[in-house]
Amino acid sequence: MSSGSGGDAAALYTMTVGAPTALGAVPDTMSEKSHWLRDETGKGEVKGFVNPWESSHDFTFPEIFKAMVQ
């Protein structure tokens, strides 16, 4: 075992688990979180998530199962 393996492991951990050093631009509407489903008031507990991409659609269980078996 080499004496530098502890340092190598620490460096690898930092690169894979550490916080990112540069973040992307934050949209102006970030605080609205319109893709979050909430209760009737719109301000309570989060109940789910709606994918904001127009091309997305929900899959049924048979569709998912069929894709896994193929």
43 three-state secondary structure: coil
Query: Exposed/middle/buried for 25, CB within 10 Å: 0-12, 13-18, 19+?
Result: exposed
3-58 pLDDT tens trace: 556 678 877 777 777 666 666 777 677 677 777 777 777 677 777 877 777 777 78
H or E stretch at 8: helix 5-17
Higher pLDDT, 59 or 23: 59
pTM score: 0.31
In the chain, where are the structural domains located?
A: 32-70
- Amino acid (1-letter code) at residue 31: S
